[in-house]
Structure 1
């Protein structure tokens, strides 16, 4: 269980896969400001539907956004009288991606009753700061609620946030009433939304929890068989590297592959490993990982000039067949066309330990991080 919790929270702390054990409702009061004002009883008309949720403080400012997508800028005055869900996410984070079906469903289901969902897109990797890339992700994931672009981490810092994904729930008086960190606990999150809407005079918001359908990388993970955790490729956070002589920081180097043990990985070919990514300098380089999980994903980017990079995936030396991911075919073929997370393996039968290898047929690819599900 400890491995599960540690490996599935994306952190800066990257991302979390929370479940009930990681729900935080009673966040330290130092996180927010104006606590004495926030503790006032509020509108007497709401007393009959008063939630038992604590008051954690006033909703911090969203004024640090460098841009707003799907919406004009929103501020506290515009949000007063609305129940607000603030979702900190970044578009290559698998844990964030898997929350999106639920967040989209809540935004649609409760919009008419006074819920405002705001996605705060705070990047981890450099390519996630590009507004064009964020717009592509919004279209890819069919997001229609407001997105605050937080590329300078100003909103992140205003909230004292430290991970992706994290949900903050604010009531109609602009007070933060709950914080949930990570994947999972969707029923709890929806119950919080319903209770705050009821408190705001919308008692009919109660009902059965939403069960959205999801496929490909947005589908829920297979927790029971998950034995591999997020692994960075850039040297700043890299671990379990198995190629001889180790990673060479910011240097062009010809790597040779050793057969990796479980949760180890290695490089073959001519690569330059930087702080957050490894760049392939010549065609026919590869990356291998020994993993045990239903799904294997790899965050990849195309050439610096934007040209695509072709690749082939092998599982234990063979084409993946029915075990291919949504970004490969049965022969293991795929193309890196944009900087994002690629689902490369989804085991269709019994989940077993395997050696994954991806070979790039063109130079210039950037590799950032493995994630699993």
Structure 2
């Protein structure tokens, strides 16, 4: 999931100064001397003002492709290409999807190709069946390269989710956009590169896609809680200064939970990526401050559904229920994915969240907020 510190820890020298500096020029349809063109790319004399950052790396090495045969450089010749590095349970990635779908549909006839490169963070995201369910859930019909071995990720020297790489019709990389947001600037980049390629019919309006549930934009003004992993490899902010027993069943007692702290209750086995509940009626408690609370969850062994019940400050959520619960806080885990469990409908305040699992076998991976 998106972490700016991770990007800064591994600078991309070949893209230095590129990130969004060029995007700040907006559409930037400035006249410049024409450059030598490649086959399939019209030479209009227009140049967008965006820098050339090098050649778009090849999309070779995917485990498989979904929604399309494998796309080579030849297949993309003459196209403006937006490559999106994403993973399906990442909330930052999920919130970009309404824009990616809208851009792909709006500009496909003018020569835009959107390519999703799905590079998993968790092991469950490597399972093709899980990814196919996510594509259907999110109504993604553009090409997706399944990059479970991180070969494309490595070729791009990528280090965060989500990241957009945008190339012109000559196969030259022209912009790199890190993280969610910056949608207007990204669309202006697309428009400018289509114009540069001679696509005179490209609209100059901006999309305003409708988004619901976990795909909605975050409430950044009231976002006081951050991504929190449950597996011991990256776990933090455990209440009471407690320790997680690694890879072995353990009884966790209820404890006082401070701001942005969490705890397990019941008998759990905590692995590197996840905690799995061994007996029914276990809980996870988190004191959070945000409009939305999400939790990546998985069902029991063999995909057996697990029922759960959410409480906010000890009460049913009512109007503050998320898209994956009802007003009484009831829900069920059927797939391994991100679940929206709380959306505060009024003033955003700090609350004590608890999810109680009525069946054994549930897996919990990470909290995110919006």
Question: What's the TM-score, normalizing by structure 1?
Answer: 0.90
Q: Secondary structure at the match of 2:96?
A: helix
Instruction: Determine helix, strand or coil for the equivalent of 1:272.
Output: strand
Look up the match of 2:236.
239
CA distance in 2, matches of 1:157, 1:353: 40
Q: Which one is further off, 236-245 or 207-216? A: 236-245
Matched, 1:24 2:48: no
Give distance in 2, aligned partners of 1:26 and 1:59.
19
Who is 2:59 aligned against?
A: 62
Q: 1:26, 1:56 within 8 Å by CA — same for their partners in 2?
A: no
Residue 77 of structure 1 aligns to a residue whose secondary structure is: coil
Shift of 1:287: 0.2
The SS at the match of 1:327 is: coil
1:108-187 equivalent positions in 2, closer than 5 A: 108-187=105-184
Give the alignment partner of residue 213 of structure 1, picking from 201, 206, 210: 210
Q: Which moved more, 1:286-295 or 1:235-244?
A: 235-244
Whether 1:228 aligns to 2:225 is yes
Aligned to 1:96: 93
Give the whole-Å Cα distance in 1 for the aligned partners of 2:58 and 2:240: 47
Cα-Cα RMSD: 2.0
* 8 Å contact kept, 1:321–1:330: yes
Structure 1 contact 243–265 (Cα < 8 Å) conserved: no
Match of 1:265 in 2: 262
Q: Residue 118 of structure 1 contacts residue 145 of structure 1 at CA under 8 Å; is this kept in 2?
A: yes
- Assess if the C-alpha contact under 8 Å between 1:89 and 1:119 holds in 2: yes
Q: Pick closer, same or farther for the CA change 1:339–1:11 going to 2, 3 Å.
A: farther
Pair 1:9 & 2:6 matched:
no
Q: Counterparts of 2:5 and 2:85 in 1: how far apart (Å)?
A: 13
How many pairs were matched up?
348
Residue 201 of structure 1 is matched in structure 2 by 198
Secondary structure at the aligned position of 2:284 is classed as strand
Per the TM alignment, residue 206 of structure 1 is displaced from its structure 2 partner at its CA by 4.2
| Residue matched to 2:31 | none
| Deviation of 1:40 (Å) | 6.2
- CA distance change for structure 1 residues 192 and 50 in 2, over 3 Å: closer, same or farther? same
* Whole-angstrom CA distance in 1 between matches of 2:272 and 2:124: 14
Shift of 1:246: 1.5
* Equivalence for 2:329: 332
